[in-house]
Chain A
Amino acid sequence: MTGPRVLVVDDEPQIRRSLRVALRANGYEVEEAATGGAALDQVATRPPALIILDLSLPDVDGVEVCRRLREWTQVPVIILSANSEDEAKVRALDEGADDYVTKPFSVTELLARMRVAVRRAARATEPAAVVIRAAEIEIDLSRRLVSRGGEEVHLTPTEYGVLRYLADHAGRVVTHGQLLRSVMGPGYEDAVGSLRVYVASLRKKLEADPATPHLITTEPGVGYRFRAD
């Protein structure tokens, strides 16, 4: 049995080796690239189902690889980065990466993120759903109605915009910049403070326990993630 094909892009042969063994044992077919240039070539000739991308590469850096990929393909990209590359991580997500895992990482965690990313990509090819459901929340996109446990919840237009954008990207990390650009328009990318207020108010209206959110979780220093069922 061969499962989805994964391209592992990392200049450290030791990391590639551990990933190759672990991912193969979990049913993935693994391909490797040591440089950004090689990665771009390989994706063009044999598009994989998923890309695991290190950010510090010897030739083209990971953010740039992400940007060039997004010019023509929506293949899911999971960033694998050391903590010291925090800003680069946000830039990569802004350039369209789906998720990130911080080094050192556990294989179990990485596998869980990979499953979500592959599933999300498969869903993206289906016709868009009119109703999004997560836990006891229902978002009816055609009527712009949100209900919790069957009862209608009143949201302001901005709150609805934030929720809608998060739900559209369910399972994926959405950066503050992406959210602000899409909901408030260009030029508001720095208004992270006001974004916090909208998210807090959404949580109050939608979460069972707003203090420990499950529906909209915080990715510290990066953005938010909407729970995918």
Chain B
Amino acid sequence: MSRYLEASLAVGVTLFAVGQIESRAALPTALLLYLLPVVLAATQWGRGPAVLASVLSVLGHDLFFVQPVGTLSVARADEAVGLVLLLFVAIVTAQLASAARRAGEKEQEAAIARRSDEMKTALLRAVSHDLRTPLASIKASASGLRQPDAAYTAEDRAELLAAIEEESDRLDRLVGNLLEASRLEAGAVTLHKDPQDLRELVRAVVARLQPMLAERSVRLSIPDELPLIPCNYAQIDHVLTNLLENAARHTPPGTAIDLSLELRSDHVRVQVADAGAGVPPADRERIFLPFERGSTRVGGSGLGLAIARGLVQAHGGRVWVDDTPGSGGARFTFTLPLDGVGE
């Protein structure tokens, strides 16, 4: 409704302006002025308000400026023709301008729909590739083990079985990431914080991920004493898991990953530093967006870091990446506030 009010107001302003023009005899100039509120209404508020503006302009001009003033009757024939012309031109202008506006809106909607389609396709591609890769190892190993005539040693069998187990864990992590991503997307992350010993959490995560880290050694730097930190254990486990998985993905086997815990004035700081190629400054924000993988062509769903950021932010902390001093690898840091310790 306010769109109609605004259109009426615009006509009012124009009427006032026309009233200020000394020589009202210059009728064509005055009439052209009324096209301003009409075009304004058509492009800003749509067709209805524009038509209203057209009609109000004609009525208003007739009422205030056409002899006899104060009535809707018109004494002079040329003024009558002028008013009819004004009404016609104003309504045609209203139609054209609002049609242009609608076309613009449709174009915008189509562009948004296209982008969202592209996102969905990219998502499905990434997810199906990521699901198929561990599935491929599992199926290859299982079908190998079932071969009746192949010469598998006990060691071979153990290796194939280990591959099946590790790749199942990887699938599980991926499914966990997908679920967490959809919860974050829906804003449905519930935060149930309990005081936790982060030192234990860090050690447990590193121990669990040992098979995935392969020959990469994790050098832990953990203070002897650390207050309990209020956080959700499973979610911070998830953050750390994603950061370590990311480090393993972007570094060659045999390199070290430095994991440190440090108490600062009002927060605790966790850092995962690797000796890989690092993240160029231009990519340092982008890699935290869902389905972005930076400029590398290494696999991965592009979900892990986005989830890490979502969960850390839900805890009131921050997460960012810079260079590992010395090696130039990537150093991911996240913070958790100490608020409410001992609650």
Interface centre among A11, A14, A107, A110 (most CB of B within 10 A): A14
Chain A contacts of B297 at CB under 8 A? 56-59
Chain A interface residue bracket vs B: 20 to 34
Chain B nearest CB from A29 CB (Å) reads: 14
Q: Of the candidates B125, B132, B143, which one forms a contact with A108 in the assembled complex, judged by CB atoms under 8 Å apart?
A: B143
Q: Contacts A13-B214, A104-B139; is A84 near B156 (CB within 8 Å)?
A: no
On whether the beta carbons of A82 and B137 are closer than 8 Å, the reply is no
Within 8 Å of chain B (Cβ to Cβ): is A83?
A: yes
CA distance A192 to B139 in the complex (A): 34
On whether the beta carbons of B151 and A15 are closer than 8 Å, the reply is no
Q: Of the candidates B132, B137, B144, B296, which one forms a contact with A14 in the assembled complex, judged by CB atoms under 8 Å apart?
A: B137
Chain B nearest CB from A195 CB (Å) reads: 29
Chain B nearest CB from A139 CB (Å) reads: 35
On whether the beta carbons of A17 and B299 are closer than 8 Å, the reply is no
On whether the beta carbons of B152 and A82 are closer than 8 Å, the reply is no
Chain B nearest CB from A34 CB (Å) reads: 9
On whether the beta carbons of B166 and A14 are closer than 8 Å, the reply is yes
On whether the beta carbons of B129 and A15 are closer than 8 Å, the reply is no
Which of B113-148 touch A at CB < 8 Å?
124-125, 128-129, 132-141, 143-144, 147
Segment at the interface with B among A20-28, A42-50, A120-128, A176-184? A20-28
On whether the beta carbons of B143 and A107 are closer than 8 Å, the reply is yes
Q: Of the candidates A25, A105, A110, which one forms a contact with B152 in the assembled complex, judged by CB atoms under 8 Å apart?
A: A25
Q: Of the candidates A26, A59, A103, which one forms a contact with B150 in the assembled complex, judged by CB atoms under 8 Å apart?
A: A26
On whether the beta carbons of A18 and B135 are closer than 8 Å, the reply is no
Chain B contacts of A21 at CB under 8 A? 141, 144, 152, 156, 159-160, 163
Within 8 Å of chain A (Cβ to Cβ): is B298?
A: yes
On whether the beta carbons of A82 and B163 are closer than 8 Å, the reply is no
Chain B contacts of A104 at CB under 8 A? 132, 135-136, 138-140
On whether the beta carbons of A15 and B140 are closer than 8 Å, the reply is yes
Within 8 Å of chain B (Cβ to Cβ): is A19?
A: yes
Within 8 Å of chain B (Cβ to Cβ): is A12?
A: yes
Q: Chain A 70-86 against B: per-residue CB contact (8 Å), 1 yes, 0 no? A: 00000000000011100
Within 8 Å of chain A (Cβ to Cβ): is B167?
A: yes
On whether the beta carbons of B144 and A22 are closer than 8 Å, the reply is yes
Q: Contacts A18-B141, A25-B151; is A103 near B133 (CB within 8 Å)?
A: yes
On whether the beta carbons of B143 and A106 are closer than 8 Å, the reply is yes
5 smallest CB-CB distances across A and B, nearest first, come from A22-B144, A106-B143, A104-B139, A103-B136, A18-B140
Taking beta carbons and an 8 Å cutoff, which residues of B are in contact with A? 124-125, 128-129, 132-141, 143-144, 147, 150-153, 156, 159-160, 163, 166-167, 170, 214, 253, 296-299
For this complex, 29 residue pairs linking A to B, each with C-beta atoms less than 8 Å apart, are A11-B299, A13-B214, A14-B163, A14-B170, A15-B140, A17-B137, A17-B159, A17-B163, A18-B137, A21-B160, A22-B140, A22-B141, A24-B156, A25-B147, A25-B150, A25-B156, A82-B129, A82-B133, A83-B128, A84-B132, A103-B133, A104-B136, A104-B139, A106-B140, A106-B143, A107-B143, A107-B147, A108-B147, A109-B143
20 further A-B pairs in the complex, CB-CB below 8 A; given A17-B137, A56-B129, A103-B133? A12-B137, A13-B253, A14-B166, A17-B159, A17-B163, A21-B144, A21-B156, A25-B147, A25-B153, A25-B156, A27-B151, A56-B299, A57-B297, A58-B296, A82-B132, A84-B124, A84-B128, A104-B138, A104-B139, A109-B143
